[in-house]
Amino acid sequence: MSVTESTGLRERNKRERRRRLEDVAIDLFERDGFDKTTIEQISAAAGLAPRTFFSYFVSKDDLVLGDYAERLGRILEALERQPITMPAWDALRASFAVVASDYATEVDRLIRRFRIMSATPSVYARSLQLQAGWEHTLAAHLAARLDAGPDDPRPRLLAATALAVMRASLQHWLTTGQTQPLPTLVQAAFDQLGRGLDQDP
Amino acid sequence: MSVTESTGLRERNKRERRRRLEDVAIDLFERDGFDKTTIEQISAAAGLAPRTFFSYFVSKDDLVLGDYAERLGRILEALERQPITMPAWDALRASFAVVASDYATEVDRLIRRFRIMSATPSVYARSLQLQAGWEHTLAAHLAARLDAGPDDPRPRLLAATALAVMRASLQHWLTTGQTQPLPTLVQAAFDQLGRGLDQDP
DNA sequence: TGCAAAAATGCAGTCAATGCAATTATGTTC
DNA sequence: GAACATAATTGCATTGACTGCATTTTTGCA
């Protein structure tokens, strides 16, 4: 108990402040725009010194992306859980379903961030960069799963396609005002690509 | 003639200097790394004042990407040329074939840039950002071609997938040492997605 | 309470990028 | 070929993100 509490307190404070920074930053970004908000303003609003900001976030961009990284990491976990006998595309479909429903639970939070992301090139670029990182590791996992050699194009193709599907669905979901549930959209897109793009929808 | 020559001179000088900046920059990036090379060094090496650099390139990143934007623009032109009766995925396949062979003609130049791009997060991010821009316009074109409404997910899905295919193929081509021709790889990937990812290769 | 580790902070500095004003080069016109 | 309008180059000052380093404060534990 003492151990949990002791290390827990530091950790908790750290998480709280990180969260606070995110929150005030998002508010300011929405009010004044990303570029017109300075690190100085953000840290002041969070009650911290400017220098301290950088021990919580490596860059201003990362304020908006927050747990983006963590969330995509769950795809890999989910992928690991799929039986090895399952065809690769099916396994991907199942894994992405998990993340899709995760997303759907936090619509409001997500939408605010997405708005800022779409309006701010540097942030958008950073999000794509993160995605590219996962595409890479996802491809590595798939290569293992498919027992594919380094000159087998399939892992890369599958990873790239799956993330493209996710991104396109997410964007569609957000721009159409969430008329259809995200998981449904994602599944439909995976199905379409499973059947083949030569086929009519 | 006089007109062509007159305006031509200014334009030509401008293009030459732009080119010179690119070239010296690539050399320096390869030698010292992107981040350790300053705008000051680049402009000095090109015989220009630092301030002048920014009338040729909006950012340091763009030095590496060069004609990236222009090249992707050809996809759209090619797409316009495909008969409207051709199924969308076939039209995309044909359009991307054009760009794929374009790439293949400039392997050396391309590879140097790709190395820097892969090694430099900010540059890579910027390239993805450019691609995202094209994905957007490509989707718009496809929407017109398919006569699709704003809540039809197909244009976005097709655009995202096609660019994913291109990116994955390009990466595969470069990392496998160009053992197979790029157009072949791209066609194979398009075919695979046409047949459907549920099918075995 | 006292101590060691961790976190916060201040300060100085680098570098990309921008705005503005002044200067220089270029192409055209007479 | 000289004067002139325009475009390009340049210098200067400034902003703001980000980093390294040294110092101070806070925190959890003995």
> For residue range B152-172, what is the model confidence (pLDDT) as tens digits?
999 999 999 999 999 999 999
| Spatial contact of B124 and B108, defined as CB atoms under 8 Å apart | no
Whole-number Å distance between alpha carbons of B104 and B182: 6
Q: Which residues of A touch B124 (CB under 8 A)?
A: 129, 132
Determine the distance in angstroms separating the CA of A10 from the nearest CA of chain B, rounded to an integer.
32
Q: Separation of CA A109 and C1' D27 in angstroms?
A: 32
Question: For A41 and C10, how far is CA from C1' in angstroms?
Answer: 17
Task: Give the one of B89, B161, B185 whose C-beta lies nearest to A161's C-beta.
Answer: B161
Domain ranges (residues) in chain A: 3-58, 65-195
| Closest-approach nucleotide to residue B50, Cα vs C1' | D10
Identify which of A1, A132, A145, A153 has the alpha carbon closest to the alpha carbon of residue A68.
Answer: A132
In terms of CA atoms, which chain B residue is nearest residue A196?
B196
Chain B interface includes A126 (CB < 8 A)? yes
Place of tokens 């053992």: B179
Which residue, among A121, A54, A39, A119, has the nearest Cα to B59 in the 3D structure? A121
Q: Are A117 and A146 in contact (CB under 8 A)?
A: no
Q: Given pLDDT bands bounded at 50, 70 and 90, which one contains residue B2?
A: very low
**B43-64 average pLDDT score:** 96
Cβ contact A146:B197 at 8 Å: no
Is the pLDDT reported for residue B4 higher than 80?
Answer: no
HSE toward the beta carbon, residue A189, CA cutoff 13 A: 34
Task: Average the pLDDT over B24-47 and give the result.
Answer: 97
For position A8, what pLDDT does the model report? 59
> Whole-number Å distance, CA B81 to C1' D1?
52
pLDDT tens by residue, chain A, 201 residues: 333 333 556 777 888 899 999 999 999 999 999 999 999 999 999 999 999 999 999 999 999 998 777 777 788 999 999 999 999 999 999 999 988 988 888 888 888 999 999 999 999 999 999 999 889 999 999 999 999 999 999 999 999 999 999 999 999 998 898 999 999 999 999 999 999 998 876
The confidence score (pLDDT) of residue B14 equals 87
* B13 strand C contact, CB < 7 Å: yes
Contact present, B159 and B178 (Cβ < 8 Å): no
> What pLDDT is recorded for position A3?
34
The pLDDT value recorded for residue B40 is 97
Q: Tell me the two tokens of residue A85.
A: 């006998």
CA distance A156 to A37: 38
Q: For residue A198, give the chain B residue with the closest CA.
A: B194
pLDDT of residue A22: 95
Tell me what pLDDT residue A1 has. Answer: 34
Distance in angstroms: CA B174, C1' C11: 46
Is the model more confident about B119 or about B3? B119
Tell me the CB-side half-sphere exposure of residue B130, using CA atoms within 13 A: 19
Q: Which residue has the higher pLDDT, B68 or B171?
A: B171
- Which tokens in the block code for residue B87? 């199924």
Q: Is any atom of strand C within 7 angstroms of residue A51's beta carbon?
A: yes
Distance CA A126, CA A117 (A): 9
pLDDT mean over B138-163: 95
Q: Higher confidence at residue A69 or residue B76? A: B76
Q: Kindly tell me the sign of the dihedral angle through the C-alpha atoms of A135, A141, A142, A143.
A: positive
* CA A96 – CA A190 distance, rounded (Å): 9
Question: Which of A197, A198, A199 is the best mutation test for B, with the most CBs of B within 10 A?
Answer: A197
CATH class of B65-195: mainly alpha
Kindly indicate the confidence band of residue B42, based on its pLDDT and cuts at 50, 70 and 90.
Answer: very high
If phi > 0 it is left, if psi is from -120 to 50 it is alpha, else beta; for residue A178 that is: left
- Which pLDDT score is estimated for A201? 64
User: CATH topology of B3-58 equal to that of B65-195?
Assistant: no
Q: What is the pLDDT of residue B199?
A: 81
pTM: 0.88
User: How far is the C-alpha of B155 from the C-alpha of B150, rounded, in Å?
Assistant: 9
How high is the pLDDT of residue B70?
Answer: 77
Mean pLDDT, residues B13-29: 93
Q: Taking a C-beta distance cutoff of 8 angstroms, is the pair A69, A100 a contact?
A: no
Fold held by A3-58:
Arc Repressor Mutant, subunit A (1.10.10)
Per-residue confidence (pLDDT) for residue B86, from 0 to 100? 95
pLDDT at B201: 64
Whether nucleic acid strand C comes within 7 Å of the CB of B44, the answer is no
pLDDT at res. B8: 61
